[in-house]
Structure 1
């Protein structure tokens, strides 16, 4: 689309995956709301799909924080191990159903797009209508950690595997696209990648970073808090710190967002 073509929405918000780092999205949203930046359409991947769902359902940042703390995402994402040896996302589905009245994209207050990865074809699949909770769970199903999610006889895993920052999903739908990327590139000291866990996390990050470059470039405004790299993807106990980190990064982006909005005024 050219800049002169009319688009259905003014402001789009793309929320990346990142495990526990996704809690920082709450802080970014808080900054946007405080400065009356109205979001008209959302795309979310993995952890970004959870926060995106809560936001699209009309939950305030404080309610999102309560969800993260009361649902205890540690329990949500680490229930008793099933027979297959992988973890399941049943508890996450259950918590979503407790906090959101209808299991439907169509009942949301803001249009939402969630992407997941289809294992059989190796393609990104985006949903924006129909049943909601199982799609969010599929988008969060990190390979080799969680059981894949079966939807309509197809097997799906984490959307971040192929599209962690889903800016392209809504690029043509909005005038100003804000992307929040919580897996930014940063060199890591050699001494910090000695354990098996740290090596696996670094490999996970590098794979996603490589796939996200184009998605970063098509944002009008990119919010990418570098300090988020100090938190690993399963560090769910750092709720306050992560929200504040996202909030401060969001505040820094406000002037640029307002400038972009001025440019598209008709």
Structure 2
């Protein structure tokens, strides 16, 4: 399938930045033929796929602004410590995230075959094969299971088992899966990057922060390799939209979503204005 692709990166609670960028893209008359999402980008991409319009993005924005920590991340530092000491697979259980995903997918959208207007692909890392799995290539695959697999961010959520395989966050291998959009024949790609790796001005401290930084570096290098490949072969016009956010928040803090949406919208509008001038 040729056409325009929107690629949405991983990024945890920074996913609200993606919604702002999507609002700007749709407001400028840009619509996707292909959607590719990773981790929180999978949630946003699936939400847009069921209603690929400005109204659809506005609906997702409302969900982000209403979302509460307790809906997804049920627990606190004490419960996280208990789970860690008990040898559990994650700091948070994933049943609340699953309920959140199920409640926000409209009736009639249970597998990829139910999506008629755009092609949706969701990436996850397959622990059994050690490779990136692209959900959506098999239209019978479950949307909820694909999202849960892609959102299984270690160590926050446990691996997700589906059809006999264990999956973790696709960001472990490809945080901004540009390569998938290229493989599916996209000729114009808008890559919304809320996992942008900036130079660290201060020492990284704390094992969670160090682990997160390492994972981001590895996945971001994969994106840079894909970008060079696309530019060298002339496969597609790639518009990389990195979005920076000044607050350093724990993954479970969803209280700044409205602010993030506005930051994401402005970043994308600035990008589109500069692109139009060039």
The two structures have a TM-score, normalised by structure 1, of 0.84
- Separation in structure 2 between the aligned mates of residue 138 and residue 30 of structure 1, nearest angstrom: 26
Over residues 220-258 of structure 1, what are the superposed CA-to-partner deviations in whole Å (9 max), with x where a residue is unaligned? Answer: 111012x23644461422102211121112112325777
Structure 2: gaps spanning 5 or more residues: 231-236
* Residue 228, structure 1, aligned to residue 256, structure 2: no
Aligned Cα root-mean-square deviation (Å): 2.4
- Separation in structure 2 between the aligned mates of residue 195 and residue 179 of structure 1, nearest angstrom: 30
2:30 counterpart residue number: 37
1:111 counterpart residue number: 119
Of the three residues 76, 84, 89, the one matched with 2:94 is 89
Of the three residues 95, 103, 109, the one matched with 1:98 is 103
Structure 1: gaps spanning 5 or more residues: 1-7, 261-266
C-alpha change, 1:228 and 1:211, in structure 2 (3 Å) is: farther
SS in 1 for 2:245: helix
C-alpha change, 1:85 and 1:161, in structure 2 (3 Å) is: closer
> Is contact 1:223-1:253 (8 Å) kept?
yes
The two structures have a TM-score, normalised by structure 2, of 0.81
SS in 2 for 1:190: coil
Matches within 5 A, 1:1-266: 8-58=1-51, 60-72=56-68, 74-80=69-75, 84=88, 86=90, 87-100=92-105, 101=107, 102-108=109-115, 109-128=117-136, 129=139, 130-172=141-183, 173-190=185-202, 193-217=204-228, 218=230, 220-225=238-243, 227-228=244-245, 230-232=247-249, 234=251, 235-255=253-273
Over residues 69-120 of structure 1, what are the superposed CA-to-partner deviations in whole Å (9 max), with x where a residue is unaligned? Answer: 3342x22432256773522322222222222222121222321000101112
> Is contact 1:183-1:228 (8 Å) kept?
no
Q: CA deviation at 1:17?
A: 0.3
- Separation in structure 2 between the aligned mates of residue 215 and residue 21 of structure 1, nearest angstrom: 23
- Separation in structure 1 between the aligned mates of residue 93 and residue 238 of structure 2, nearest angstrom: 36
C-alpha change, 1:215 and 1:89, in structure 2 (3 Å) is: farther
C-alpha change, 1:106 and 1:229, in structure 2 (3 Å) is: farther
SS in 2 for 1:251: helix
Q: CA deviation at 1:26?
A: 0.3
SS in 2 for 1:53: helix
SS in 2 for 1:223: strand
2:234 counterpart residue number: none
Paired residue total: 250
C-alpha change, 1:197 and 1:161, in structure 2 (3 Å) is: closer
